[in-house]
Structures are given as C-alpha cells and as structure tokens.
Amino acid sequence: MTVALVILAAGKGTRMQSDIPKVLHEVAGASLLAHTLKAGQSLQPSRTIIVAGHGAQEIEVASKAYDENCELILQTEQLGTGHAVEQTRATLAGFKGSVIVLYGDTPLISAKTLKRLNDSLVTSAVSVLGFQATDPGKYGRLITQGDKLDRIVEFKDASDEERSIKLCNSGVMGISAPLLFELLLQLDNKNAVGEYYLTDIVALATAQNATCTIVQCDESETLGVNSRVELAQAEHTFQTIRRAEALKIGVTMPAPETVHFSFDTIIGRDTVIEQNVVFGPGVTVENGARIRSFSHLEGAHISDGCIIGPYARLRPGAELAENVKIGNFVEVKASTLHENVKVNHLSYIGDANIGARTNIGAGTVTCNYDGAMKHQTKIGQDVFIGSNTMLVAPVKIGDGALTASGSVIVNDVPSGALALGRSKQVNKPGLAFKLMKKFKAIKVSKKGN
C-alpha cells in the first residue's frame, strides 16, 4: 500500500526554554525531527509532509537537508492535532493510500514498530500505536471492546475509571487517506481544552463499523520530548538501546556505559571499543577494528583491522584503509590513508593522501591552510616521514622517500630521495653559561625592585 507520512511539528516547546524550535533539539547528534524522518523513511513513503508552526523556516531547512522531497505546510494557529492534520487536506487531495501520522518530538519509535503499524492497515481501517504505561500520568487512554479499539479518551476528559487504565495512546496513528479526511470533517472542539483532537476519529470510525486496532510497542519508544529533562532522558534511552544492539551484533565494549553513539553510527563485528569513546555523525567502522580510550570520531570511515587512539581525533573526510594505525594525540581530517599506514604520535594530517605502508613520525604536520585556501599533501608508498616534519602544502613526496627529522618541506621530494629541510646548526662554545648568568642577574634585580 502506498504510504504518506504526516509529521506534526508545529509545537513551540515552551518548556524547552529555548529560541530553537523544539523538534530541532538534538539526540545522538541529530534533531528530534531527523530521528522521526529516519524511522518514517523505512516505510518508503511516496510523500513526506511536515506540519510546522513556530520556527517553520528553520524546520523546512532542516527537513530538506535530510530529505529534499519533504513538503512543509504551515499551521498558523495551533488548534489541536486534528486541526494540524486537516492542514494537509489540499496537499493530499486524491491520495488513496494510507497516512501514517507521526510526531516530530518523538525520536525513539523504531522502524520495526512502524512496519507493524503499517502492516496492520491491511485488515484495519485505523491502527493506533499504544503502550502499557508504568505510570500512565496524563496520557490519553485506549478504550477497548474485546480485542478492538473503541475510542481514545484524553486524560483531561477521562473519568476516574478510565484514568485507571494503563493502556495508553502514543499519538502515532495509521489510517487510509479517504477515511481520514472524511472523519476530520466531523471533529468538534467540545472538550476540556477546546481543541480538535485527532484521537476523536477512532470513535467516529467505530460508529461507522470500521475496524480500529491497537499495535503495542515498548513504552520507551513513545517518549515525547517537551523539556530539557525529557531530552536528556531520550538521549539516555537512545544510548542504552544502541549499546545493547552493538553488543548483540558482536562488538566488544569493556565499559559500554561510557561509549557515546551517534544516530547513524555503523560498527562491524569483532570491533573493540574501549572506554570513553565518542562517535559523532557519519562514522562507519568495519570488522575487527580497535577504538582505544578517549577518542573522538566524526564523518570517518575506518576499515578492517585499524587501531585508533587512545586520544585520537578523526574528523570529517578521514578515510582509513585496512590496518591503519592512528596513535595518541593524532588528528586526521579530509585525508585518505592507504593500507598499513602508521601515524602513531602527536601529528596533524589534513587534506592529505598517504600511500600504503608509509610511516609518519611524531610531531608531523601537513600545513594545509594558507589563511585563505586549503592545499593537499600527497605522500607515496613506503615513505618515512621523520619526526617533527612540517609538510607545507601543496607538496608531493615520492615513493620510498625519507625526510629528516625537524625538516620543513616546501618542495616536492622525488621517489627514493632523502629530504633535509632544516637550517645548519651552529654551536657557540660557553655562550649558554654566560647567557644564563646574565638572565639570572636580571631576574634578581627585578625582584629587588
């Protein structure tokens, strides 16, 4: 069945105490809205419509950055969830498929759960995502007749008996488009808050003898973010789930509670991730790598057998082939390192291409930025770069070449050549003693004053 996603994202999020639209606050390196879009895209929707209000322009930019086919509709007045979905009527005119209504501030719903919800529409006119709440609080309650959903009652409108029910409404719903827009015409706002509830369409559908069902998920998936406290809870829950998934697929983590994943981190089996490692967005680690303690990775691809860290930083564009070693206090950015390259200590590699089996000595810097433009350093295979070499880009080092320690390399080095780019050393006998005596005398005189 063809699917259209409708994502409600018009809320201001007053409790966030922020100038940023609520749905653009981040969990695991991505906005709440991006998490919702990622889950929804698993259904391969033909349309993705975002209903925005506060911060609509920023939301449109963010949504199109994730998926350029997203469509944004402005809800100028926030009169309830039913009113929000009603804003899509013209856009979805003539659409005959199913509509999945999601919320831009609910980042933890899984693709598997959405598939079950969508699949249930084969036999049901309306399907609602529900959960058994540990503390039902102010959630809407799902009222059943036998194994069918009869209606949804919002907390403010519920009787004491209805409030005792622990089966609660997540707000996420699936329904055929023609039925949805037929029932939306019948909504009224005669309730405790004077809003048009989307949830009321369940009772309206039941009155027409349409089948309404509940698809249940774990309560953790339904967490909505309305405050900084809930944002932190969502982050904690995401990380807990992601760590468990990594362990399950064969990743070793001696202290998983100290590892921070991004929303899109990909880790291969038999990888070892030591304590206090942070993955920013866009990282893929293939099989059998080791990421040592206190390393930070973002926008990097790490191939089989690599060893990273401790205290390493990989920035966007770092492309590491098999068995590369990146040691302590090494930073790599926008560079390709081929098989068995070693950069073991205290070096910066930026805008570089380094050939197989090359060794980069401690303190090496690719001087890639002239204050206006970036330039590339190209290093061949089997090269030995001596410690404390400054490679002033653009520069090329040929296969099998060697640079002497402490060199400043400003010209290309041919294959097999030794490059010495340092000033001639001059020794002045006895001058050190004389200078130190003079400096100490000056220091004593300053204290006397």
What distances in angstroms separate CA 391 from CA 16, 312, 404, 425, one per listed residue?
48, 20, 12, 21
345 as an active site residue: the answer is yes
| Amino acid at residue number 18 | S
| Amino acid at residue number 41 | Q
Distance CA 389, CA 443 (A): 35
Omega within 30 of 0 (cis) for the link into 178: no
- Tracing tokens 């994202």 back to the chain, one arrives at 9
What distances in angstroms separate CA 6 from CA 48, 103, 106, 118, one per listed residue?
6, 8, 13, 13
Distance CA 84, CA 74 (A): 9
State the helix-helix crossing angle for 32-41 and 111-120, rounded to 10 degrees.
50
Which run of H or E residues covers position 180?
helix 177-184
Number of H helices, E strands in the chain: 9, 36
For residue 227, count other CB atoms closer than 10 A to its CB: 14
Task: Supply φ then ψ for residue 108, to 5 degrees.
Answer: -105, 0
Q: What's the first-to-final CA gap in the chain, in angstroms?
A: 89
| Amino acid at residue number 121 | L
Burial of 119 (0-12, 13-18, 19+ CB in 10 A): middle
Which is catalytic among the residues 25, 54, 301, 345?
345
Buried b (16+ CB within 10 A) or exposed e, 177-203: bebbbebbeebeeeeeeebbbbbbbbb
Tokens coding 206: 């039941």
Distance CA 387, CA 377 (A): 17
Distance CA 377, CA 410 (A): 11
- Annotated catalytic residues are 345
